[in-house]
Structure 1
C-alpha cells in the first residue's frame, strides 16, 4: 500500500534517514521509534505525502504519492498530527464531522450517513455523551480522543498517527491503540504509529522502523527490531530486559 523507495530525509545539514526502502502492506501495524529529534514526525509526514523527500519517493498503491489530488489522497490516508489546534469554536460533534470532508463534494453539507459515522466514532472512543460540548471545555485527554474520533470518521484505509497516546491516561492509551491497531484486521487496512513507549510498540506493532544517528535506519518485523542492543544504541541509555509469560519488556536501567 505504501512504499518508501530509497527515501532520504534531511533538515539543514542533518540527515534523518538515508536510503530507506520499506514496503508497508495491508494487515500490518508499523511503529516508528527513535530518540527525540531523530525525525519520526518528519518521516510520518513524508509517508503522508505532506513533505517532499530529499531523495527517493513515496509510492501509494504503486504510484508516486504526489500525483494524487489532495481529496483523493485524503480518502486513502488519514493523519493524526502530534498536536492539533483549532482557532474556531466548535462542538465535539462538529469537530469529528471534519473527518467526513474528503467524502463530500464541494459545497456539499454532511448528510445523515455522515452523522451516523461521526456518532459511531465518538462512541468508539467513549465520548458519545459529550457530542454537544464545546471543544474548548474538554481536558487534553478528551480532546485527543476527539481527534482520534475524527480520524476514525474519515475512514481512510491507511492511518498515520503521530504520538496517538499524547495526554491519555494508561487505560485510554491501551483502549485507543487496541481500537486503531484492530483496524489492520480489516481487508486493505494499514496503520503507522509514532510512539515513544517501547512497550506499547511491542504490544501493538507488527513491524518497526528505527531511526538512529547520522541517517542510519533499520526496519523489519518487530521481533527482529526490538532488542536491547538496537534500543540502547538508539536511545543512548542502558536498558533492562524483562521477560514475562512469553513477552519481553524494556525499562531504563
Structure 2
C-alpha cells in the first residue's frame, strides 16, 4: 500500500503566480520506495485566480475557504489531507531536492521523533540565495522545550524556520492544527509541538524562502511591536500549559 506525505499550501490570490514554481519543486521530489506525495492547496478566499493557476495533476487537491487568514486556511486544508505526514510549504516558497525524502526517511525510521524542521535558504528578488537567519540549531534531536527556550534567549529570533515543518498528522490534529493567530501561526505550532514531543533538525537545506515586498512577514500587521508582543505571550502561555500536562509523545 502506498504511503502518503501531504504538502499543505495556503494561498492568498496575489501569490497565485508563484504556484507553478512551488508545484515544480514538489513534482521534482524523489521519494523512498512505497511513498507518494499529495499537494493540498487551500485558497484564503474564493477568487478563481488560484485554481486557474494550478496544473492538472491528480495528486493536487484544491479548496477554498471564506477569507479568514493563514491559520484557518491551513487547518481547513487538513480535511482533505490523506497523508500520515504533513509538510508545510508556503505558496511563494520552493522545496529543494531531497526535502521530502529526508523528512520521510527520518520520521519513518525514528518512531520516537514526531516532527522535523530543516535549514532554509533565502531566495532574493535577483534570484540569488543566502543563508536564512533562523539556522542556529545543530543537526540532531530537538528535545522538548528547546525551541521556546532558544527563542527567548535569542531575543525572539527562532532557531529554525517553521515553514520547513514536517509533522505526524496525529500530533498536528491533537494540537488543533495551526495556532489561531493572524500571523505567526506556524511559530505557535512548532513551539506547541516541541512542548509535548521531541523533534529533529535536519542540517541540509530543504526550502527556498522567497523574499519579496508583498510577503506577509513584511507587512505592518506582522511587524508591529505591540501586536507581536500579544501573540508572543499567547504562544508562550500555550506552550507552558501543554508542557504542564505531562503527556507522553503522540504516536500514529
If the length of structure 2 is used for normalisation, what is the TM-score? 0.26
Larger radius of gyration: 1
Larger RCO: 1 or 2 (CA < 8 Å, sep 6+): 1
